[in-house]
Amino acid sequence: MFDMSKMMEKVREVQEKMKAAQDNLVNITATGESGAGMVKAVVNGKKQIISLEIDQDLVKPEDKEMMQDLVIAAVNKALEEIEIKAKEELKKSTEGFLPNIPGLDFGNMM
């Protein structure tokens, strides 16, 4: 027999675990590099840039356009990698807790 109160309790538990997992995303990081390491960007799981390093050799007025392109490339690479890591972290946090229902993907809840 179906027990609605147990079902609601399970839903609340899932919500709490998802909130904790999402809050923890600030603690995971990914780094993207471009220009053979001349530009490095670090982002967290909340898709925030937390660090940006630019090699001294790039800080010349005539290199401004190239530097901008390298920064964009580094940040985009870091954001691509953190997307993968964040989904893995959320999946790990709910593994064994949620039933495996074909077609139901909780990975898009970020």
Please, what is the Cα angle at 101 between 95 and 107, to 5 degrees? 55
DSSP 46: T
Evaluate if pTM is beyond 0.85: no
Q: Is residue 89 part of a domain?
A: yes
Say how far apart CA 87 and CA 18 lie, in whole Å.
12
Report yes or no on 83 lying in a domain.
yes
User: For residues 109 and 18, is the Cβ–Cβ distance under 8 A?
Assistant: yes
Express each pLDDT in 57-87 by its tens digit.
888 888 878 888 888 889 889 988 998 998 8
User: Mean pLDDT over residues 1-24, rounded?
Assistant: 84
Summarize pLDDT for 18-63 with one digit per residue, the tens.
888 888 888 999 999 999 999 999 988 888 888 888 888 888 888 8
Q: What is the mean pLDDT of residues 95-108?
A: 59
Q: Is the dihedral of CA 45, 46, 47, 52 positive or negative?
A: negative
Q: Containing domain of residue 89, as a range? A: 21-97
8 in any annotated domain = no
Indicate which CATH number applies to the domain containing 89. Answer: 3.30.1310.10
| Contact yes or no for 85/21 (Cβ under 8 A) | no
Per-residue model confidence (pLDDT) at position 22: 85
Flag whether 104 is in a domain.
no
Q: Is residue 40 part of a domain?
A: yes
Query: Is 2 inside any structural domain?
Result: no
Residue 108 lies in a domain: no
Give the count of domains, the chain.
Answer: 1
**For residue 1, is it within any domain?**
no
Confidence of residue 7 (pLDDT cuts 50, 70, 90): confident
